[in-house]
Chain A
Amino acid sequence: MRNKIIVGLSVAAAALLAFNLYKVFMVLPDEINQGAIYRIIYIHVPSAITCFTCFFAAMIASALFLIRKDMRYDAVAAATTEVGLVFASVVLVTGSIWARIIWGIWWTWDARLTSMFVCWLLYAGYLMLRRAIDEPTQRARLAAVLSIFAFTDVIIVWKSIEWWRTQHPGPVLSIRNGGGMAPGMEAPIWWNYLALVMVATILIMVRMRQEDFRREIDSMRRWAHAL
């Protein structure tokens, strides 16, 4: 059943991505001030929102683990954080490349970029913490608390362009009561977000299947030692 879902989602995601790619490159006109480079927004922004969605899901899973003590929530938290970290990397790299063209610099230490980098460091630290602890219950417990602490930075990243004047552009998306984009230019962001969420879900499901597999191997190993 799970495999069917994975395959189904893969097909849907691939189709959506292909359609979006066509739309982004063929249909949409160049932006007045930036030229062609602005099209990176259609992978930069959806990746960012996907990344935050993943970290939000990880926080919820962590909280649920602490309340219910069910190890499956821990597996969800680990998988979503890993995938979230991948998308965070995509955001930082695509953002840098875009910045090089329009601002002339690869990086700057304004509130948004700094807090996003800190976010990456925190969740990378989460994965390191998981690897540092052998005992499963202790690992799940400490990782859950860290996940909740780390999420405070995600909130800072999201709100940073409202709270501070940053090098990074201010709020633009319609959901943020921002400056707004030209009609027709915002929709592909949300379609790409949907596609990336599907990709993230697939990766998370595959990763969780691996976690189940690992737990099976661990229990078989324990049985082998008991023999």
Chain B
Amino acid sequence: MVEARNLMYMFYGFLAAWLIVIIYVVSIAVREKHLHQELERVRRMIEQREKV
């Protein structure tokens, strides 16, 4: 009984740890996507201004 709970919490522990790291990696990826979008926007702004 205690053994099962023990093991369960141990897995929760490892799971929680890696979840936190994965969430951070995902947030980095999201930030990368936003940066690319902003780059596109700025590029288009430059092209427009150069045409003028």
Contact = CB atoms under 8 A, between A and B. Distances in A.
Nearest to A216: B39
Q: Is the interface of B mostly helix, strand, loop or mixed?
A: helix
Given A217-B35, A220-B46, A90 B6 contact: no
A35 B49 contact: no
A167 B2 CA distance: 22
Contacts of A37: 6-7, 9-10, 13
A210 B31 contact: yes
A47 B35 CA distance: 29
A36 B10 contact: yes
Given A36-B6, A43-B14, A206 B28 contact: yes
Interface stretch (A61-69, A94-102, A122-130, A142-150): A94-102
Q: Is the interface of A mostly helix, strand, loop or mixed?
A: helix
A29 to B, nearest CB: 14
A35 B32 contact: no
B28 A39 contact: no
Q: Interface size for chain B: under 10, 10 to 19, 20 to 34, or 35 or more residues? A: 20 to 34
A43 B49 contact: no
Given A101-B5, A206-B28, A213-B35, A199 B21 contact: yes
A181 interface: no
Interface string B22-40: 0011001001100100110
A40 interface: yes
A160 B35 CA distance: 41
A93 interface: yes
Contacts of A90: 16-17, 20-21
A227 B46 contact: yes
A10 B12 CA distance: 24
A227 B49 contact: yes
Interface of A: 34-37, 39-40, 43-44, 47, 83, 86, 89-90, 93-94, 97-98, 100-101, 199, 203, 206-207, 210, 213-214, 217, 220-221, 223-224, 227
The list of the 3 closest CB pairs from A to B, nearest first, reads A227-B49, A40-B13, A97-B13
Given A98-B13, A217-B42, A220-B42, 6 more contacts: A37-B7, A44-B13, A93-B17, A101-B5, A206-B28, A213-B39
10 contacts: A36-B10, A37-B9, A40-B10, A83-B24, A93-B17, A93-B20, A97-B9, A97-B12, A210-B31, A220-B43
Interface of B: 2-3, 5-7, 9-10, 12-14, 16-17, 20-21, 24-25, 28, 31-32, 35, 38-39, 42-43, 45-46, 49-50
